[in-house]
Structure 1
Amino acid sequence: MNGVKKRDYESILAECLAIRRLYTDPEFPPDERSLYISNAPVRENYGRVIWKRPRDIVSYPVFTSDISRHDLNQGRIGNCWFVAAAAIICTSHRNILERIVPLNQSFERNYAGVFHFNFWWYGEWVEVVVDDYLPTNGRNLIFCQNVGNRNEFWSALLEKAYAKLRGGYSGLEGGKIGDALVDLTGGIGEVISIENKNTIPRNLFHILHKSIAMNSMVGASIHRPPNATSSEVKHPNGLYSGHAYSITGIKEVINRGHSSHLLRLRNPWGRGEWIGAWSDRSVEMRTLTPSVRNSLQVDTADDGEFWMSYGDVIDNFDEIEMCHLQPDALTEENTSSWSVTMYHDAWKPGLTAGGCGNSPHQKLYWRNPQFFVTLSEKDDDDKNGECTMIVSLTEKEKNNIAKIAIGFDIFQLKPLDGEKASRNALRLAERSGKYQFYREVTRRFEFPPGVYVIIPSTFHINEDAEFLLRIFTEKAAESG
C-alpha cells in the first residue's frame, strides 16, 4: 500500500484532542508531494494549488448531510472512473457506503482535522487516515466536490483518501470503473467489451439484469479516439468519448402495449446528458403515461442522469464494467449473491514462475500454481444445464503500475482411475485471452458440471509477483 501506515484513526484523534492541535498528515502532506507520483512518466499540471481546510473554504462545513450520488462531481483530475464508481455505490448499496465512509465524523464534535475511510486492498480491508487539507484555487475546491452543496465535504475527503492509497492525486489519472469498484467493495471486476458490435453476447441484457438483481454494480465507458487531442471528446448526441458513466438503473417499460428495455446512466460531472431517444425531454418520454413516467423518476434538469434504450447503449458504448459483490458485502435483505473462493499465491522465479508455455520453455509451464474447482450443480435458470464461473486474476501491483503481463488457462479434468492427475488427464477448456498488462484479468465462463483446473501464469518465465485468484460461482463449488 502506498503511503498507508498502521497508525489508526482513533489514536491520532485522541492525541490531537489531548494536545488541542489540528492534525497534519506527515505521510500525505498538504503540498506538491501529495499531488504527484514521483516516478510517474508524465506529470500532470493542476495549476497553482492552495491547500485549505474546509473551515477556511466555507463558514459552516459539514461532513455529510444526506449522502447521494449527486454529491460527487468530478474536478480537474481525469478520474471519472472513480467518481462514477462511488456514485454507483451511493445509488443502491448504502451498507457498503457506510463501511467505506464512516458517518460518525464531524467538523463540530471531536473535530481535530483528521478523517478516515476504508478500502479493500488486495484481499483485506484497510483504514486510510488523512488530514482535511484539500486542494483549492484559493477559493474553491479543484477536484471532486459537491457542486450543489459547497458546505459538504465527504466526497472530497474520500477522493483524498483514495489518492493517498494510490500514491498521490496524479495516481487517479485514468483508470477503469471496475478497478475502483473492487477497491471500494472487495467485489470481483468483470469487463465485457462491446466495441465489436458483431461479437456482443446475445444474452448481454439478461446478464446485466441478472447481475444487478444479484447486487452487482455496473458502469459503461466510451474509448477515446486514437487521434484525439483532448482527454474527453463530446459527441453531437451529448455523450463523451474517453469517459466513464455509472449505470444506476435498469427497467423494462411497457407503454401502450409496447415493451422497451432501458438503462439509467449518470455522468460523474453531474451535468452533460444524452439527448437522443429516451432522454429527459425526448418524444419517447413525453408520450409515456404519467404513472410509467413517474416510475422512471425523470428529472428534466441537467443533473447528468438520463435514460437510454439498451440498443442505444450497445451502439454508443465500447465497454461494460461490472463488479460482483462477495456475500459479506450484502445486507440480510439482499441475500442473493455469488459463492466465492479466494486464494493468495505467488509466482517465484525458479519455482512457480513457469511462464505461458511458449517454446522453448513449454515444460516449465506446469510449474505454475494450479487450483482445482468442482462444479456440481447447474445454474437455476440455465436451459443448457451449465454452471456460471467467473475467474479473476489480480496482480499485486507495485507503485500502481502493472509491469507483468498475466493470464490464465482452464483445463477440464478427464475421469481418473486413481487420485492423482497428470497433465495427460487435462483437456484445455478455455483461456483468459491475450496476456495483459492489467491489474486484474477477469472472464466469465459457462461450463458443464465437472472438475476443472485453473492455472494462472505470467507471459514470461521467472517473473516475480504475488497474485490474488478469486472464483465466483452461482452455486457452491468445491475447490482446492
Structure 2
Amino acid sequence: MKEESRPECGGEGLFEDQHFPPEDTSLFCDRSTPIAKLQGYVTWCRPQEICQSPALFPDNINQAHAKQGLLGDCWFLCACSFLLKNKHLLNKVFPPDQPQWGDSRYRGSFQFSFWQQGRWTDVAIDDRLPCINSTLCFARCHTPTAFWVALLEKAYAKLHGSYERLWAGQVSESLVDLTGGLAERWSLGDFESEPEQRPEQDSDQVRRRKLDLNLLYPVKEECAISCSTHSSPGGASELGQYHALTVMEWLDVKTVSGSEVLLLRIRNPWGRCCWGGAWIESGPGWSSINPVSALELQSRVAEGEFWLDETEFLSQFDDVTVGYPISEDGHLKSIYTGNLLTHHHQLAGRWMKGHSAGGSRNSSSYSSNPKFWLKVCERGEVLISLLQHRKWRHTEQYAQTPQEESENTKHQHYQAIALHMWKVEKKRFNLSRMLNKPPCASSHCHAYEREVVLHGQLEPGYFLLIPSTYQPGAEARFLIRVFSSSSISLSALKSPAPSLPLTTDGEWETLYFRGSWVEGRTAGGSRNFLSHWQNPCFPFTVCDESTVTLGVNVRITLHQSRPDTDLHPIGFHIYKIPQGEPEQTLPRDQDPVASCVPHCFTQDVSLTCRLSPGAYTIVPSTYQPDCSADFTLSLARRIHRKVVKSQERLGRAIQEISHISVMQS
C-alpha cells in the first residue's frame, strides 16, 4: 500500500478527495449490512456546514470520547478511547497542528496515519462527512461541535475501502492499527463447567486463556481494556450480539464490613447506560461502601458509563481484549511483567501453494512451511507475533475488495493460522527428527485470527519458528514480529535444514472412496454427539510387512464437495477393529488411534501417521450433526515392493546397465 502525500489545493478552493468521493461507493461495498437502508438519504457536509464553531477537540476531554452512530463499528471506537489516554499515540495517528476551521491555512483536508502490515501508512481525506438532515449519521464526539472522531472514522473507512467495511470487527485489530503494538483476546468464561472432552471444537471457537485481572496490575493504568458480549447478557438487556465496550478504570474499594470489592467503570460507545445491576446510580451496591467514597465514584461516571463489580463483570461479558502499553519512545511494555521490551525485529513472509504452504503438523508437507531463526543472546522476556494480511484485492489506491463477494465472515478474510517454536542446540540439525518432538512453545491451535501471540522467558540459544496455516496449499502473506527485553536477532531460513533421506524401499498404493453425509441418516456429527456413530465408515487393513522401514505408512485426506463460501467444519477419526470382529464393526467403547481434528472450515483435511498391522475403519464427520454434503476420502498405504536404486545424479545422464538372464539347464 503506497503512502499518500499531503493534498495540495490551489487558490482558495477546498480539497476534494477524488479517491474517496462523497458518493455511494464510499459508503457501501456490497450493501449487506443495515446501513444499506441509508441509500439515497445521506448527504455530505463539511463541519462548518454542520455547526457554527467546529473544532477538532472539545475543551473538556471527557466530551471527546466517541459516540457510535448508525454504523456497527464499536470495535474501532473502543480503540479510539485508548488514544485519548495516550497523547503520544494520538499525535502519531492524528499529527498535531493541522490547520482547521477558522485558520487561514485551512484547505478542507486532514492527514492521518495507521499501522498496516509492518509500517505506518498515511491517509489523507477531505472533511466532507456523511450526514442525514445535516447531522452526522456515523461516529461523533459527545460534544456535537468536536470532529476528531468523525474524521478519524472516515480515514479508517477510506483505508478499508468504504464505511460498510467497518461493520463488525475485532477490537484487537483496531488497537494494533492505531498503535502499531500488540493486543490479546482473553476469555471470561467459566471453564470448569465445560465438558472435559473438547478435541473436535471448531478452531474458530477455541478455548482462550481465562483472564486473571490480577495479572494486569503492573500495567492497569497504561493498557487498553475492552470487554465484549457474544450474546445479550441478562443485565445488559439492551446489548445485542457482538458488542464491544471500554473498561475505563478498575479499582479495589473497601466496604463498610472491612472487605474489598473490585469495581470497574465501563463506557458504552452508544453513549447511554444499558445496565441495571447493583451499582447503577441508586443501586443497592453503594450502601455497602463508605458514603463519601460512593459519591466520589459516582461523580466520575460520564454519559454512557456505569459501574459494576467483578462478579457482574465476569458473568455479563464473554471476553476481554487487552492492548499492550506503548512508551513515548515507541517501546512495547509487557502486560505480564510491566517490563519494557526495547528490542524489536520483524520479517515478512508468505505461504505459497506448491512451494511454502505446507499446512498444519497433521500434513506430511508441514516441513515446507517458511522457517525463521530466532537467536536469543541473553535470558529475557520475549513476545512473538504471527500476523497475517487480510485477503484483499486492490482495485484502487485504497479501495480494497475481498476475494470472496459473499457474506462478510472471518473465514473468508483470514486463514486458520498457528505458530510453533522449537529450541535447537545448534544451527545444523535433523529437521524431520526435530519436528517429531513437541515444540517448546506454540499457539493453542490453528485459529481464524488476524494475529496470534506467543509469550515466554527464553534462555540464550537458537530457536526455530514455523508459522503455518491449517490447510495445506492455503495462501497468505504474513508478518513475524518479535519483541524482547534482551538482545535478539531474527532471520529467515534461506536454505532447508538437513533432513532425513527419503525412503526408497517402498511404494504407495492409493484407494478412493466416495460418500455422503445425509441429514437424519448419515450426518452424525462429531464425537460430542451420540449420533456420531451414524456417520459413514470405511474399513481398511494394514498388512504385516516386517521389512517395511519405520515411519509413516498411512496418508488419509478428506475432501468435501462444497463451494468455498459454504463449507462445513470437517474432520475424521481412525478406530482399530478388535481382532476377530467384522470389518464394519465400530468399537464404540474405544478411543480413536488417530484423529484429524479440530474440525475445520476447509475443503481438505489430511493426516499422515504410522499404524501397526491390523484392521481399522475411518469415520469422517462434520462438526455439527445433520450437515449434508458429499465427500471423497483418499487412503494411501505404504506397500512393500522393492524399487530400483539408480545412480542418477542431478545434471548427469543415467548410465543404463543391461542384465542378461541365463537359463540354467
Instruction: Report the TM-score when normalising by structure 2.
Output: 0.61
Asked whether the equivalents of residues 35 and 170 of structure 1 are also in contact (C-alpha less than 8 Å), the reply is yes
**How much does 1:203 deviate?**
6.4
Name the structure 1 match of 2:522. Answer: none
Aligned equivalent of 1:68, options 61, 74, 87: 61
For 1:407-443, what per-residue CA distance to the aligned partner results, in whole angstroms no more than 9, with x for missing partners? 2242332545x744533235323442443333x1324
Q: In structure 2, do the counterparts of structure 1 residues 420 and 167 end up closer, same or farther at CA, with 3 Å as the change threshold?
A: same
For 1:48-82, what per-residue CA distance to the aligned partner results, in whole angstroms no more than 9, with x for missing partners? 11111111111221222337354310000001111
Residues 306-345 of structure 1: matches in 2 within 5 Å?
Answer: 306-326=306-326, 328-329=329-330, 336-339=339-342, 340-345=344-349
SS in 2 for 1:65: coil
Aligned equivalent of 2:181, options 170, 179, 187: 187
Write the distance in 2 (CA, Å) between the matches of 1:173 and 1:400.
Answer: 14
Are positions 1:425 and 2:434 aligned together? yes
Query: Which has the larger displacement, 44-53 or 118-127?
Result: 44-53
Aligned equivalent of 2:159, options 148, 155, 165: 165
Asked whether the equivalents of residues 386 and 478 of structure 2 are also in contact (C-alpha less than 8 Å), the reply is no
Write the distance in 1 (CA, Å) between the matches of 2:208 and 2:297.
Answer: 27
Asked whether the equivalents of residues 239 and 274 of structure 2 are also in contact (C-alpha less than 8 Å), the reply is no
Are positions 1:406 and 2:416 aligned together? yes
Q: In structure 2, do the counterparts of structure 1 residues 449 and 261 end up closer, same or farther at CA, with 3 Å as the change threshold?
A: farther
Asked whether the equivalents of residues 235 and 241 of structure 1 are also in contact (C-alpha less than 8 Å), the reply is no
Name the structure 2 match of 1:32. Answer: 24
Gaps of 5+ in 2: 193-206, 393-399, 403-411, 492-665
Write the distance in 1 (CA, Å) between the matches of 2:339 and 2:182.
Answer: 16
Aligned equivalent of 2:83, options 65, 81, 89: 89
Name the structure 1 match of 2:644. Answer: none
Are positions 1:471 and 2:482 aligned together? yes
Aligned equivalent of 1:208, options 203, 206, 216: 216
Name the structure 2 match of 1:382. Answer: none
Write the distance in 1 (CA, Å) between the matches of 2:173 and 2:383.
Answer: 20
Write the distance in 2 (CA, Å) between the matches of 1:29 and 1:253.
Answer: 52
Write the distance in 1 (CA, Å) between the matches of 2:140 and 2:353.
Answer: 46
- The structure with the largest helix share of the pair is 1
Residues 313-462 of structure 1: matches in 2 within 5 Å?
Answer: 313-326=313-326, 328-329=329-330, 336-339=339-342, 340-359=344-363, 362=364, 364-373=365-374, 389=383, 391-398=385-392, 399=400, 401=402, 402-416=412-426, 419-420=428-429, 422-426=431-435, 427-429=437-439, 430-438=441-449, 440-446=450-456, 449=459, 451-462=462-473
Q: In structure 2, do the counterparts of structure 1 residues 236 and 125 end up closer, same or farther at CA, with 3 Å as the change threshold?
A: same
Q: In structure 2, do the counterparts of structure 1 residues 373 and 27 end up closer, same or farther at CA, with 3 Å as the change threshold?
A: same
For 1:115-158, what per-residue CA distance to the aligned partner results, in whole angstroms no more than 9, with x for missing partners? 111111111111111111111112211111123x2221111111
Query: Which has the larger displacement, 25-34 or 133-142?
Result: 133-142
Name the structure 2 match of 1:135. Answer: 130
Name the structure 2 match of 1:21. Answer: 13
Write the distance in 2 (CA, Å) between the matches of 1:323 and 1:448.
Answer: 23
Write the distance in 2 (CA, Å) between the matches of 1:285 and 1:238.
Answer: 22
Name the structure 1 match of 2:520. Answer: none
Query: Which has the larger displacement, 278-287 or 257-266?
Result: 278-287
SS in 1 for 2:36: coil
Asked whether the equivalents of residues 70 and 87 of structure 1 are also in contact (C-alpha less than 8 Å), the reply is no
Asked whether the equivalents of residues 115 and 129 of structure 1 are also in contact (C-alpha less than 8 Å), the reply is yes
Q: In structure 2, do the counterparts of structure 1 residues 464 and 412 end up closer, same or farther at CA, with 3 Å as the change threshold?
A: closer
**How much does 1:395 deviate?**
2.6
Q: In structure 2, do the counterparts of structure 1 residues 400 and 188 end up closer, same or farther at CA, with 3 Å as the change threshold?
A: farther
**How much does 1:284 deviate?**
2.9
Name the structure 2 match of 1:230. Answer: none
Query: Which has the larger displacement, 191-200 or 55-64?
Result: 191-200
Write the distance in 1 (CA, Å) between the matches of 2:384 and 2:240.
Answer: 29
SS in 2 for 1:178: helix
Write the distance in 1 (CA, Å) between the matches of 2:46 and 2:383.
Answer: 47
Residues 253-268 of structure 1: matches in 2 within 5 Å?
Answer: 253-256=253-256, 257-268=258-269
Aligned equivalent of 1:123, options 96, 118, 125: 118
**How much does 1:7 deviate?**
4.0
Letter matched to residue 218 of structure 1? I
**How much does 1:455 deviate?**
1.0
Name the structure 1 match of 2:616. Answer: none
Q: In structure 2, do the counterparts of structure 1 residues 29 and 455 end up closer, same or farther at CA, with 3 Å as the change threshold?
A: same
Letter matched to residue 254 of structure 1? K
**How much does 1:464 deviate?**
3.1
Are positions 1:240 and 2:250 aligned together? no
Query: Which has the larger displacement, 44-53 or 250-259?
Result: 250-259
Write the distance in 1 (CA, Å) between the matches of 2:490 and 2:295.
Answer: 47
Structure with more relative contact order (C-alpha pairs < 8 Å, separation 6 or more): 1
Write the distance in 1 (CA, Å) between the matches of 2:379 and 2:276.
Answer: 42
Letter matched to residue 464 of structure 1? E
Asked whether the equivalents of residues 129 and 136 of structure 2 are also in contact (C-alpha less than 8 Å), the reply is yes
Over the aligned positions, Cα root-mean-square deviation in angstroms equals: 3.1
Q: In structure 2, do the counterparts of structure 1 residues 410 and 330 end up closer, same or farther at CA, with 3 Å as the change threshold?
A: closer
SS in 2 for 1:120: strand
Name the structure 1 match of 2:225. Answer: 218
Asked whether the equivalents of residues 279 and 307 of structure 1 are also in contact (C-alpha less than 8 Å), the reply is yes
Asked whether the equivalents of residues 235 and 277 of structure 2 are also in contact (C-alpha less than 8 Å), the reply is no
Percent identical: 28
Instruction: Report the TM-score when normalising by structure 1.
Output: 0.82
**How much does 1:237 deviate?**
4.1
Asked whether the equivalents of residues 332 and 340 of structure 2 are also in contact (C-alpha less than 8 Å), the reply is no
Q: In structure 2, do the counterparts of structure 1 residues 289 and 304 end up closer, same or farther at CA, with 3 Å as the change threshold?
A: same
